[in-house]
Amino acid sequence: MSIKLIIQSLFIGLLSGAIYLGFSNSLEYFDYLRQKLDWLVLLLPIAFICSFYIRYKTLYFPQKISDLEESQTTDVISIWNRKMSLFHYFGAHLSHLFGASVGREGVIVMVTSGFVTFMNMNLQFWIPVSAAIGFAVVTGSKWISLIFLIEMYRTTMQQKILAFIGAWAGLLLVETFKLEALFRISDFKDSSLFFDRIMFCLSMAVFCGLISYGYKKIYFYLSSQSKKHFWFSFAVVCFLSIFLYLKPFQSLQSLSLGMVQYYVHTSQYTFTDLSFIVLKIILTVLFVSLGFYGGEYVPLAVSGASLGILMASIFNVPIWFGMSLGAFLILSGVTQLKWSFLLLALILSDWNYIILFYLTFSISNRIAGEESLYYKNKDKTSIFKTNMFVFR
């Protein structure tokens, strides 16, 4: 392996970490602005118009993670406009500024890959690597870069090593600035009964599997329809902006990071708590399928963790157990990246539960169905071909 490849990998990793830090700081400022100016959410239709124009009125560029995975047998020659690739970053800022319920993983992965095209690097070699680096930086684990590559693409050992090096560099930069982790667990005591844990896991597997199945069906249907019916989609966005402007629902704007802490410190749960979790999931699939940039990682992780905490109180299992399992079950179902999210759940919690977690993820993914929001080729055997793209 040449020094040049290692340096390029380190550069991509540091770049991805810097993008993540900058975007996270922007989101904190946007939260502050929306608290001061609660009418900002009423400007969501402006963000929708901008996203629609960028998405459908310009030359081709990757818009979501599944666009980075292309079939070898495709006969379609896509025009990948390098100058437009970074508009994903601009569109995601607008989405969060005005309170759309979207995430941030798509931004980091797509912009990191966008720089690869912008710098005229070898797409066949570097796009899978850059995507894995971006995903690892967002999820906070360098090991995820390897599992992500294995589940998403067919790559060489050299690409896997470079992805790991780049992810390590990016995460070192993020850790240097002490960016707070999405979830944090300090108490790992478990005095629950084995039967209670089994029933909890089975219930979560069924619920999250069904949620993932419904999420994907709604996403694929609405994303195809929103392209054809601009004015109907615009009317839906106007309704959503008014809905999120109402005081009781303002906590559902953007990432809704406060949801998890709220449920951690709530001793008694009501039907309203469950309805808010369901609303967050519905809002996320609506905004993402309508074309708002950002992704779904954080909103679905927050929703799943909140559901896990609520269900943990019902089955008398520890809060950390419910949080760590729930945070990644829905994500695993909608992406079909079982091993990636299983690893994240175990890193967050306790490796002693690897068999129980594995069975839970397997059942949930089977119920969720084979469709994935992250890849189009079900066999995941495609290798990037540079002749698939024409540059301008």
- The amino acid that residue 389 corresponds to is F
Mean pLDDT for 192-202 is 93
What's the DSSP call for residue 253? S
Q: What is the pLDDT of residues 37-48, one digit of tens each?
A: 999 999 999 999
Give dist(CA 159, CA 9) in Å, integer. 10
Domain with CATH 1.10.3080.10 in the chain: 3-181+380-391, 194-368
360/209 Cα distance (integer angstroms): 10
Q: How far apart are CA 233 and CA 58, in angstroms?
A: 19
Higher local confidence (pLDDT), 102 or 182: 102
Instruction: Determine if residue 137 is left, alpha or beta; phi over 0 gives left, psi from -120 to 50 gives alpha, anything else beta.
Output: alpha
With 0-12 CB in 10 A as exposed, 13-18 as middle and 19+ as buried, what is 258? exposed
Give the pLDDT confidence of 107-166 residue by residue, as tens digits. Answer: 898 888 888 877 778 878 888 999 999 999 999 999 999 999 999 888 899 999 999 999
Quick: pLDDT tens for 40-71: 999 999 999 888 877 766 655 556 666 666 53
The token duo for 257 is 């990071």
- The whole-angstrom separation of Cα 104 and Cα 24 is 8
Answer whether residue 74 shows pLDDT above 70. no
pLDDT of the residue at 199: 96
CA distances to 10, 77, 200, 220, 241 from 267, rounded to whole Å, are 46, 56, 18, 37, 31
Q: Rounded to an integer, what distance in angstroms lies between the CA atom of residue 166 and that of residue 161?
A: 9
Q: What is the mean predicted confidence (pLDDT) over 203-218?
A: 96
- The per-residue pLDDT for 144 is 94
- The pLDDT, as a whole number, for residue 89 is 84
Q: Which two tokens stand for residue 132?
A: 């894995």
pLDDT at 385: 40
Helical packing angle, 3-36 and 157-176, nearest 10°: 40
**pLDDT given for residue 378 in this prediction:** 53
**CA–CA dist 292, 66 (Å, integer):** 15
Domain 194-368 matching CATH 1.10.3080.10: the answer reads yes
Phi first, then psi: give them for residue 185, nearest 5 degrees: -125, 130
Residue 293, number of CB atoms within 10 A of its CB: 30
Task: Please report which confidence band the pLDDT of residue 383 belongs to, taking 50, 70 and 90 as the band edges.
Answer: very low
DSSP string over 61-105: ---SGGGG---TT----EEE-GGGTTHHHHHHHHHHHTT----SH
User: Is 50 exceeded by the pLDDT of residue 305?
Assistant: yes
Quickly state the pLDDT bin for 85 (edges 50, 70, 90): low
User: Is pLDDT above 90 for 33?
Assistant: yes
CATH architecture, domain 3-181+380-391: Orthogonal Bundle (1.10)
Q: What is the pLDDT of residues 242-298, one digit of tens each?
A: 999 999 999 999 998 888 888 877 767 776 788 999 999 999 999 999 988 888 899
322 vs 73 pLDDT, higher one: 322
Structural contact between residues 54 and 84, judged by C-beta atoms closer than 8 angstroms: yes
pTM, full prediction: 0.88
Specify the pLDDT at position 64: 66
pLDDT for 330 beyond 90: yes
- Range with lowest mean pLDDT among 321-325, 379-383, 384-388: 384-388
Asked whether 137 and 170 are in contact (CB, 8 A), the reply is yes
DSSP category for residue 389 = E
Contacts of 374 (CB under 8 A, 6+ apart): 65, 66, 69, 152, 335, 336, 337
Strand ranges in 118-166 using DSSP code E only, listed in sequence order: none
